[in-house]
Structure 1
Amino acid sequence: MKKNLLFAIDSLDVAGAEKSLVTLLSMMDYDKYTVDLMLFAHGSILEELVPKEVNILKPLKYTNFAKLSLKDSLKHSVKSKNFKMLSSRMKYSTEIRKKKYSNPQKARIFWKIVSKVVERNPKTYDVAISYAQGVPTFYVAEKVNAKKKLAWVNASYRLDEYEKTFHSQFYDQYNNIVAVSDSTKEILLETFPDYSDKMKVIYDINNPDFISKMADIDKAFDDQFDGIRLLTIGRLAHLKGYDIALEACKKLKESGIRFRWYVLGKGPLRTEIEQYIKENQLQEHFVLLGVHSNPYPFIKRSDIYIQTSKSEGFGLAIAEARMLNVPVVTTKFDAVYNQMIDGENGLVVEMNAEAVYEGIVKLINNDELRENIIKYLETEKKGNMEEIQKLYQLIG
């Protein structure tokens, strides 16, 4: 008899955890499992890559309500004679504007205010999996019936005592907590040492055959540029280190190197980044491409992949660049040495613009080093599809 599984994640926007989940779902044995997928935001670009065997659940009532304009949400509340959702929406909107909150704080505030109007999942599952920390973790813990619950943690983050107390009441309900790298596990255990017995490590799963095929089925750059192409993939957010990237880009321009630095991603810093580009006349050098469901043609046709992150749970885009034999320059974030060997499959540099700039220049100017890195990448082990066996073991 097939086991019933539920996966829950915020959305299927283009990001590491989301791409990892889509890859995992593409590898599941659907002769053994039926799979439901809960999303808290619908219509994101990676949904088109979800296997047809996966049942994407209908949006929560609050998810639909939150998409309404304020005028329409008021009409809906009057018509239904129920103002609970409107009240929750207004309270959250007011609270979140008071100051700048961290992602764990935002998730906690959202759930404390909105959870009372979020309906329970009516099914009972053999295994329910929250595939991201925050709201998916709270939802699966509080709103889902399952014989076993697994919580994924795909970001390296530390919590203060208040956040720890709030989050622990949900993590206590999970049978296992899965970190996507050894360093992510170590950092999480600094906050939750009592969870050491139920912590597991399963790396973000990547399938080299899938990536290789996807890299050849779509077009990439269409600007006819024939200089050095640099590429970064990541949400336009502080933790991705775009301040470092922009300053390094400015230094590259001043050095006279003929290059373009492309970025795949969207996020809250877009306006700020665009302003910096304009003020420093980098329009021809730092190019925002938005999001694409298939980033792999861009990676394959880049000369160097750049990661300027200040924190990563694993660094899936780096793994994808490695699988397509593209040399990497990356900052020394917590989890970087889980996959990088400095000087062998790329360069690991300090977390500042000067170091990133010097790493890029070194790869551009040193043909022997670049060719040796590419040769190493061509012989390096590709992918980690065996990681799915660890999931099957946890499912039981």
Structure 2
Amino acid sequence: MSKFLIVVDNFKVGGITTSLINFSNFLTLNGYEVEIICFESEERPQGLASSVKIKGLNRGQEIWYLNKNNMKHKKHMNLFKILILGLIKKIFNKGELWSKLCLKQNKTNPYDCAIAYRQGRTCYQYVKYAVNATCKVAFVHGELKNLNSIMKWYFLWDSFDKIACVSQAVKQQLIERFSRYQKKYVVMPNLFDVNELYKLANKKNIAPYKSFTFISVNRMEYDKGADRIIEIYDYIKKNCNVSFNWLIIGSGTLYNEIKSQIKEKDLVLLGEKRNPFPYIKNSDCFVSMSRSEAFGMAIKEAQLLGVPAIVGAYPAAREIIVDGITGKIVANDSKSIAEEMIEFLENSQVIERYKNNLLKEEYNPKVIIDKFVEECIGEKNYE
């Protein structure tokens, strides 16, 4: 049985942690042994398979990481010691010197594959210096234009065998910018547990909406298009007489500003919901206003629940939506999104066709993950 190590800095709630849980679970379901090293917590995140082992840093590695979130729970680290070590780290934390001094590779019990699951210097350096593995993989979860710090850590890819991109679009962006790693790039999209999605979607009974219902699930931030909400809503109300509801789930820096502008009852900000799936499943159409996505997890989750999407175009959108068949990709601006929402409101046949086509789509995460494993360690586990 091949043995995998996955390295992350934390289990904070968010898309990467959700993706990590699904990725780990499917590895175990496919017969692989999985361990996770988490720098800041050994507490098992909800939904992670019990067969996945979780470990923290040893004492020497804690000194290397030296993070206040990690240290405050360690009784053996008093404040004076933390201050002294912090000063030493500040002096030596130039380039990779601190990692070379603190991280020692365990030469026994090598892993078949070690994965730095969160992109960036910290997880990459840990896998490079502290882990003994036949194959080392660095994940990239973001679009290149949003990786503002990439020039500080991309060179660490020299020490990795594979660079896993969450979409073909991200892979292509990296090929164009960092072509010398072209042979290392592989695609490993976010995975989804359909049974778990439906289980969560059925946990809460939502009363049927009287009108056609749109739903959006995103952070209330500029890059996710939250600033467009009022403009899109006003355009629809001005140009369409069909009644509708628009539910928006999420929180962020623009939340209060947008909430203060809402005067109608059919535009509803629900705030952050730990389980948004009952609301998604009970809606007619998912709307993505995001200016940028490396993949588009919320869109795919909606599709797997049978809800078609209207999406402002971004590079990876066509890896999720078959345009005009399972949903609609439009120009990424407020007017184009609003006009397509009107099209859905005024033409019920369109939405029904998309829903029927989604029912015919097959989704097999086992094939996806086994292909990834074969690309990384050469082990074939599928027909």
- Give the counterpart letter for 1:189 in structure 2: I
Q: 2:370 maps to which residue?
A: 389
Shift of 1:164: 5.5
Q: 1:105 maps to which residue?
A: none
Shift of 1:354: 1.2
Distance (whole Å) between structure 2 residues aligned to residue 87 and residue 247 of structure 1: 52
Alpha-carbon contact 1:158-1:188 (below 8 Å) kept: no
**Bigger shift: residues 283-292 or 80-89:** 80-89
Q: Report the RMSD for the aligned CA atoms in angstroms.
A: 3.7
Alpha-carbon contact 1:312-1:335 (below 8 Å) kept: yes
Shift of 1:348: 0.8
Distance (whole Å) between structure 2 residues aligned to residue 221 and residue 117 of structure 1: 56
**Bigger shift: residues 257-266 or 330-339:** 257-266
CA gap 1:120/1:305 in 2 versus in 1, 3 angstroms:
farther
Shift of 1:6: 1.2
Q: 2:314 maps to which residue?
A: 333
Q: 1:227 maps to which residue?
A: 211
- Give the counterpart letter for 1:343 in structure 2: G
Give matches, 1:1-396, under 5 Å.
2-29=1-28, 32-42=31-41, 47-58=45-56, 61=62, 65-67=67-69, 76-78=78-80, 80=81, 82-85=83-86, 124-134=110-120, 135-158=122-145, 165-216=151-202, 218-219=203-204, 221=206, 226-252=210-236, 258-266=243-251, 270-281=252-263, 285-292=267-274, 294-393=275-374, 394-395=376-377, 396=379
Unaligned runs of 5+ in 1: 92-108
CA gap 1:87/1:306 in 2 versus in 1, 3 angstroms:
farther
**Bigger shift: residues 10-19 or 110-119:** 110-119
Shift of 1:111: 8.9
Alpha-carbon contact 2:227-2:258 (below 8 Å) kept: no
Shift of 1:302: 1.5
Name the TM-score, length of structure 1 as normaliser: 0.78
Secondary structure, in 3 states, of the residue corresponding to 1:340?
coil
Distance (whole Å) between structure 2 residues aligned to residue 179 and residue 31 of structure 1: 21
Name the TM-score, length of structure 2 as normaliser: 0.80
- Percent identity among equivalent residues? 23
User: What is the total number of aligned residue pairs between the two structures?
Assistant: 366
Distance (whole Å) between structure 1 residues aligned to residue 175 and residue 369 of structure 2: 23
Distance (whole Å) between structure 2 residues aligned to residue 321 and residue 81 of structure 1: 46
Shift of 1:278: 0.4
Alpha-carbon contact 1:16-1:315 (below 8 Å) kept: no
- Give the counterpart letter for 1:51 in structure 2: A
Shift of 1:193: 0.2
CA gap 1:328/1:228 in 2 versus in 1, 3 angstroms:
same
Secondary structure, in 3 states, of the residue corresponding to 2:144?
coil
Shift of 1:304: 1.0
**Bigger shift: residues 254-263 or 5-14:** 254-263
- Give the counterpart letter for 2:298 in structure 1: A
Alpha-carbon contact 1:180-1:204 (below 8 Å) kept: yes
